[in-house]
Structure 1
């Protein structure tokens, strides 16, 4: 007679509930991946479109490796990125309004639990700070790597912004203090004055085109659960096999939730082996909320950075 069969019905039921809870915790612990800084801009998609404009040129990336993130996953400790404060760390900026229609510098700091500016940041995906900006209707996506002054002030050089309410996100990992090694995404809103015309979110789809490339997403995504997903990249009807490393991986995927602009961040599990990545990139994707998510997939070929945008529905 097995150990399980000797248990009373009540104890057996309790044991099964405990095992089920443990299994669920393991699944839900599998989450997405963060970022970290430098001076270069990796992508900007200014204006009213939802990602159809030509991509920006890629700047050279360093070869530092991240501090231990699991490929294809997001760090669950980052949360949804909708607060400016977490665990005593705070994103601060004197800028509440930015000009429309021209390049502008956005300055900010990260204050630690002691109230002092943080100046020590760990390198994550070759950078110490990843900065994002997106308008409330999820247009105008920009992904930058700002520069930091000695006093802890970061400067993000934003491309021209259209009128409306924008949310800016700082993704970083402190390299000392109580938050050392923890991943954070903090955000603030800023107003760009003028007549703001809302652009409707494009319908959900599994395929899009950018710069002559076709990007296709395969996989069923469910809120709060890790699911395998594959991104395939082709051109002129042929599989692409010349993807170059970008931030120590073959692709960078940033996602924003329709309505509240919740943030998520994924990287492929696919091993990087020189300048011949593709056509298929594997992800373990977990998005925390149901609904429509606007995805921005960045990949590099021939020294040029491409940014593909599409809407995915998560059930």
Structure 2
């Protein structure tokens, strides 16, 4: 269905699914400094997968989130000929982190299936948790105000809309980002379950907005932290907002 990643009906918390496994020797990453995380995806035959379909211009989408739902990073790692992926991470604060690989095999038994696998790592040091911001329908980032609406129920498809304004005026100059006008990722408070959603709005040049519609499916009830990424003037913005799913 346009606007919905089929992986969004899962929670992304497993390292293996359908015979595919996310493998990495790393269990820790350095504190407060840039680092690289290397991993492979093995298939049902136990061998590294090297054939991936392109999804939103990339063969692999990679996410990092701290257990308190801070420190969000969305990267596009590079793959070596042997199937080893390298993700360049910005500095990480101390604490437990979960790292997600979102991909679609382009051959084999899982061909065409959208998968999200994840592994955890620890970053040494004193971990000070940040309290999740209260549920709110609006947030601001870089001078933009983002308002999100939707009557969301766990396990059910609903429309979610995001509207953008700046200085009280509707934003109409959104630029395409990964073949869409906005990229939306969400994580569940408590277990960091994953949901990945895309706007249904058709891309038409550098004048997207002010409203974006999403086909939203959240696997669990509770509070979710949403990260909306959009581009204007060649700059990528990331707005974070907390929503409740009934």
TM-score (norm 2): 0.98
**Distance of 2:124 and 2:82 partners within structure 1:** 30
After TM superposition, the structure 1 = structure 2 runs for residues 154-303 of structure 1, keeping only pairs within 5 Å, are 154-303=85-234
1:25 aligns with none
1:59 aligns with none
| Residues 1:84 and 2:15 are matched in the alignment | yes
2:235 aligns with 304
Structure 1: give runs of 5+ residues left out of the alignment: 1-69
**Distance of 1:83 and 1:286 partners within structure 2:** 19
**Distance of 2:87 and 2:8 partners within structure 1:** 24
Contact 1:77 1:182 in 2 (8 A): no
Equivalences, count: 246
Contact 1:78 1:185 in 2 (8 A): no
- The alignment's C-alpha RMSD in Å is 0.9
**Distance of 2:159 and 2:45 partners within structure 1:** 41
Q: Once the 2 structures are TM-superposed, how far is the Cα of residue 174 of structure 1 from its aligned partner?
A: 0.5
After TM superposition, the structure 1 = structure 2 runs for residues 114-125 of structure 1, keeping only pairs within 5 Å, are 114-125=45-56
1:75 aligns with 6
2:62 aligns with 131
Larger Rg, first or second structure (1 or 2):
1
Bigger proportion of residues as strand: 2
Secondary structure of the corresponding residue to residue 170 of structure 1: strand
**Distance of 2:240 and 2:7 partners within structure 1:** 24
4+ residue runs over 4 A deviation? none
**Distance of 1:85 and 1:78 partners within structure 2:** 16
Contact 1:229 1:282 in 2 (8 A): yes
**Distance of 1:74 and 1:106 partners within structure 2:** 25
**Distance of 1:241 and 1:220 partners within structure 2:** 25
Residue-by-residue CA offset, 1:52-111 (whole Å, 9 max, x unaligned): xxxxxxxxxxxxxxxxxx332130586210000001100000000100010000000000
**Distance of 1:254 and 1:87 partners within structure 2:** 23
Q: Once the 2 structures are TM-superposed, how far is the Cα of residue 225 of structure 1 from its aligned partner?
A: 1.0
**Distance of 2:95 and 2:7 partners within structure 1:** 30
**Distance of 1:218 and 1:312 partners within structure 2:** 9
Q: Once the 2 structures are TM-superposed, how far is the Cα of residue 234 of structure 1 from its aligned partner?
A: 0.6
Contact 2:135 2:243 in 1 (8 A): yes
Contact 2:63 2:74 in 1 (8 A): yes
TM-score (norm 1): 0.77
| Residues 1:141 and 2:88 are matched in the alignment | no
Secondary structure of the corresponding residue to residue 298 of structure 1: strand
**Distance of 2:38 and 2:74 partners within structure 1:** 15
**Distance of 2:3 and 2:63 partners within structure 1:** 19
Contact 1:78 1:183 in 2 (8 A): no
1:66 aligns with none
